[in-house]
Amino acid sequence: MISFFTDWLNHVNRLIGEKKLVLFCDYSFTNILRIAESPTHFICELYGSKEYKPSQRISLSVAHKAEKVPSTTSFFVPGNNICDAMTASITIGGIGNSFTALRIGTDHDVERVNRIFNLNRFTATIVSNKALLPLKIIDADCLSLIDIELIRAADLRIFYRIIPSAFIVKKNIMKDRLEKWLTEQVEASAKLCAVTNKIIGLNTTIDLISDTFAKQLISLSNQDVKESTIDSFVLENANYFAKALGYIDAYSQKTLKWIEREPNDPYESKPDYLMKKGNNCFDILDLKTGALKYKSVTKSLRSGRDGKARIRFNDYVSELIAQLHDYKKYFASETNSKWAYMQHGIKVEDPKLIGIVGHYNNFDKDEVDTVLNQYRHNIAIMSYYDVANLLRAQVLADKDRSR
């Protein structure tokens, strides 16, 4: 799968460079390959949003291990408690099906959902407010999903998932059959591109490229993924991430050796990101997941003699904040700071500590601000939904300045 899609993406980019393939909109390449395994199927998804010059060599970032998912549907449909017995707006089985440029939902109030997630582009939409799932995959032999949006409204919560390019095959498929089917899929998408403006492995929408990144970021925060999955996505698209937060660059996973340390300190640390400011100093940022299993990133605890309920962060967020303070402690040492500057050119002075965690449903900004007001340190906790909206606001501001 790695070699197949790497060759395919480079073939497409050569066609663009030779002007044999003309796209009539802005586009970006998917650049991350994600593999999953359900009890019945293997799943391959291409996602990401990176610009390449025509004919430039493209490489795929690939997770080392396949993700294990309880059902094929659960890989695609966001939210917990997914099972095959649930009703769906669309149920897919059969052989060789392909779906392209489609929005599928479970909420009849499409306009409200569109407004919340800024889904402003035109696309064919199928909605059933009686269904519990937007999409259910059952006995599908070979299935492709290209530029599909899934919206699930459940228990007053809204989950969003975008699928740039994905392929689902039964686990007993023979290798030659798989290669033949994949070849047919990619060749057909190239031939029909002039009509559909869709081609496998590319993001081709009327959205700005940065908006494509924003939607995929919201989508990942709505999935039960490991931190490394979100981190690899942000790492491959770090320029968007830095821009959204108002920084000029983002340094990822720089190794910081604790030259001066106390017995309980680590020997080295690797902050997720060191965010470069205009004055060439850096702030510190760490990523968690969308914390899908938590109903809220905060919790209410009764404490003190009066038994008054006070808002606190849950343990998952508290762990994130503790990690950020460890990084700040590292740079509080003149010896450590000198080593970081000599090795990486990193200068940190009174850094802002930024944690990204949570998604649209479990992040109450008022409650988060209430807790943050109890901290004396320069700290910010944001959701992935906030980051996506900041990026969109930045894009609009850039447009206004260019007029």
Predicted confidence at residue 224, as pLDDT, reads 86
> pLDDT by residue (tens digit) across 103-115?
999 887 777 787 8
**Gap between the Cα atoms of 74 and 109, Å rounded:** 23
Mean pLDDT for 14-24 is 89
Q: Please, what is the average pLDDT of the chain? A: 88
> pLDDT by residue (tens digit) across 43-55?
999 999 888 999 8
| Chain-centre distance for alpha carbon 403 | 31
pLDDT at 402 over 70: no
pLDDT at 276 over 90: yes
Mean pLDDT for 181-197 is 88
Q: Where are the domains of the chain?
A: 2-207, 229-402
Predicted confidence at residue 401, as pLDDT, reads 61
pLDDT grade, residue 148 (50/70/90)? very high
* Closest-CA residue to 75 (of 163, 171, 172): 163
* Closest-CA residue to 48 (of 69, 64, 63, 67): 63
> pLDDT by residue (tens digit) across 211-251?
888 889 999 999 988 888 888 888 877 877 888 888 999 99
**Gap between the Cα atoms of 273 and 282, Å rounded:** 10
Yes or no: say if 239 and 210 are a contact pair by the CB < 8 Å rule: no
Token couple for 169: 């095959």
pLDDT at 208 over 70: no
pLDDT at 87 over 80: yes
Predicted confidence at residue 403, as pLDDT, reads 60
Predicted confidence at residue 282, as pLDDT, reads 96
**Gap between the Cα atoms of 224 and 230, Å rounded:** 10
Mean pLDDT for 350-372 is 93
* Closest-CA residue to 272 (of 228, 316, 226, 315): 228
- The angle subtended at Cα 360 by Cα 124 and Cα 368, nearest 5°, is 165
Predicted confidence at residue 263, as pLDDT, reads 92
**Gap between the Cα atoms of 27 and 207, Å rounded:** 9
> pLDDT by residue (tens digit) across 312-339?
999 999 999 999 999 999 999 999 999 9
Mean pLDDT for 56-74 is 88
Predicted confidence at residue 133, as pLDDT, reads 92
Yes or no: say if 294 and 265 are a contact pair by the CB < 8 Å rule: no
pLDDT at 306 over 70: no
Helix (H, G, I), strand (E, B) or coil at 292: coil
Predicted confidence at residue 26, as pLDDT, reads 82
Predicted confidence at residue 207, as pLDDT, reads 61
* Closest-CA residue to 198 (of 364, 338, 24, 329): 24
Predicted confidence at residue 80, as pLDDT, reads 72
Predicted confidence at residue 129, as pLDDT, reads 83
pLDDT at 392 over 70: yes
Q: Domain spanning 229-402: which CATH class is it, in words?
A: alpha beta
Yes or no: say if 106 and 132 are a contact pair by the CB < 8 Å rule: yes
Predicted confidence at residue 139, as pLDDT, reads 86
pLDDT at 355 over 90: yes
